[in-house]
Structure 1
Amino acid sequence: GTFTVTNDISQYTRAKVFSKVGKKTRVFARFSTVGGERGSADTERDPRGFAVKFYTEDGNWDLVGNNTPVFFVKDPKKFGDFIHTQKRDPFTNMKSPTMMWDFWSLNPESLHQVMILMSDRGTPYGHRHMNGYGSHTFSMLNAKNERVYVKYHFKTAQGIKNFTDEEAAQMKSKDMDFSQRDLIEHIENGDFPKWNLKIQVMSMEQSKKVDFNPFDLTKVWPHGDFPLIDVGVMELNENADNYFQDVEQSAFAPAHVVDGLGYSPDKMLQGRLLSYPDAHRYRLGTNYEQIPVNRCPYAVNNYQRDGSMRIDGNQGRKPNYFPNSFDDMEIDQSYNEPSDELDSNIADWYDRNSKMGGDDHYSQPGKLYREVMDDEAKTNLVNNTVGAMSGVEGPKKEEIINRQLCHWFRADEELGRRIAEGLNVNLDKVMQAMHEHHA
């Protein structure tokens, strides 16, 4: 498809992709589920991957996000363990609600994302009717080499539309490929889906004064303090001619940025900068960036050579080291970035089980329930959660359920009570567990 700039944000970034209103850039987008294997139903309750590759004249920029503004964990140390709980039990080879809720209940930072997942946004009505988010905190640099931090939001122009839990189950039995079919058919029929790209901007000074960690992937930036700023429109107007060649072999990595766009102290982002290209090299080969869908349409000049399936001339007879006396490459000082100052709170690692009160995992989920959800959304959240938690079984069932109920109560007492009643749980035991945990 294409991305078209509709608003000037050059005060924040010198990236050419955003250089002037009306500028068009070719893009490639890929949507995905997380927990299911290839061929599994795409109407399952699951986060959706929302990845976009911008083919800019400065190189390829990948914005690799989800359809939710937050995530389950905020430290890459936990990511592998989390993914294991979303896949299959090593003993039964079946999906296990017990594993999921055991992990979530032992990691209260997951509550914000779990609440979104258990709401109707966990079952979007196809890819066209969901938002996309960069989720992480990123950075921008302008022509004066001034840095700001940003969050990216893709707002669907088709409007948010979701399945209820019952509707999603019905569609799963009727058409396991509904989301793919819906997207492909609308594009083939000329009804091109669009998303409006917006950003939130936070200055370096503001990042040191806000009352939450702005680099914590489990938290959002309040829109009242950091309003959305229009950037442009993405339109998907062409289907891939061959699924395997273009979609299966596409490789997105947060490490793929261009001049004027950068990273942040977000720990999960820093973990992904390493892990995604590493996974691509394993999955597609060391020269995966030469595959047509991943290849930059402009000249690539660097000093990296060789590797399996190198088929682009391998940069010929030019030297493969820098500096050297044989080519006319010069250092472009305009690409230099200013240094970043990190205090100990930002540079330190997130403990696996921080002490109670060490971080606020509950205020934002509580506000989401009380201030954003209407009565129908609240009821569906409760019913979906009760249904999901009812799958917990085994000798630790009561312990896991009571521990998770403590988190629901801390986010909002009404929410915790409604879920507990739906599960037929003795509230006195939950309250006792809360007091013991706090003590």
Structure 2
Amino acid sequence: MPRPRARAARRRMKRVVVTGVGAICALGHTASDTWQALAAGRSGAGPLDVPERETVRIANAAQVRGFDTAAHFDGKAVELLDRFAQFGLVAGREAVRDARVTWDAALRSRTAIVTGSAAGGQASIERVFEDLWRQGRSRVPVLTIPRFMPSAVASHLAMAFGVTGPTFTCSTACASANHAIGQAFWMVRTGQVDMAIAGGSEAPFSLGHLKAWEAMRVVARDTCRPFSLGRDGMILGEGGAMLVLEPADAALARGAPIHAELAGFGMSADAHHITQPHPEGAARAITAALQDAGVAPAAVGYVNAHGTGTTANDAMEAAAIRLAFGPHADRLAVSSTKSMHGHALGAAGALEAVATVLALRHGLLPPTANYVGRDPECDLDVIPNEPRHTQAEVALSNSFAFGGLNAVLAFRRWDGSAA
């Protein structure tokens, strides 16, 4: 039982809700399009489309196709924006529109922007290296650093909306977006800010980055099959997703749409290995998120898994879920939407947070696509191939990164009351 002081502190904290979502990924250029694909169990993976594809042994990827930069940015703006930053801005603009935010000076000064990215502007920095080392040029474009710095998205979102509150970026490999959303959530819940825009973006399809993943030997030969027999790796993805967070009472007062409640956040470190995950570390983050939300394990109905499709990760995550939930793990619905939008690295947690929020709102759990058979090491209900019409009350979104950095978000279906 919580101690009296802890209960009193919890009563002083605000309930935090998600009032806006935005997304762009291989499944679609908006959150609505992305959700429709997720709800249909449709994969966005296809043949890798990069100029150097003949030199890369990665066959398939979940890329954002048909993206018209000119439809979103003028020529002058594009000079400042790497592809990863473009995705972050597109998603952020959509989330703010969805939340129906009306800006004034007070709100701008009391809004936080927290973004996540593992790689930053890879394409921009590689272009500079090519100019220097292959083309023999002695100078680089003056805006090179502003284009590739991982914090570019946070800065451009702040400028786009005139936000002057806390603005920063988290870079914790594949947990970057969950760490960003969690930090933003805590700031809103404790009253440090009145609103937050949080999420992540990534665009990893540059030659050097692809060759680095090729060397890791964790990319699937054909497609991503999380938790499935015969899985052999991940499918790289790209894109961005953002959430608007605000206190429930403020959202209700202004008549904002409410998608779900963000109720808790938990973090941990494995302190074990730089690339091999450990179930005890992941389980600690799950338990921390539940405790932060004041939610019993038995109340959770759905887990959006990290679920990369690699042999090591999926078995580890299944074990972590069993450690954290005990016998309730047999009644949990678990799925990996990476089977459809790919592993978008620092943006993955943001895309999965949007998927989890919309699953709670619509009463439909997205499936684990490409599943071909049960693996005894992943003995969970993984919603194979077909979506499930089930109303979960509480859902988790897991992110477990290289280096053993774990971040878990706990969402609750919105009950219509700020009490």
Fold equivalence (TM over 0.5)? no
Query: Which protein has the larger Cα radius of gyration, Structure 1 or Structure 2?
Result: 1
- TM-score under structure 2 length normalisation: 0.25
Larger RCO, structure (CA 8 Å, separation 6 or more): 2
- TM-score under structure 1 length normalisation: 0.24
Choose between structure 1 and 2: higher helix proportion.
2
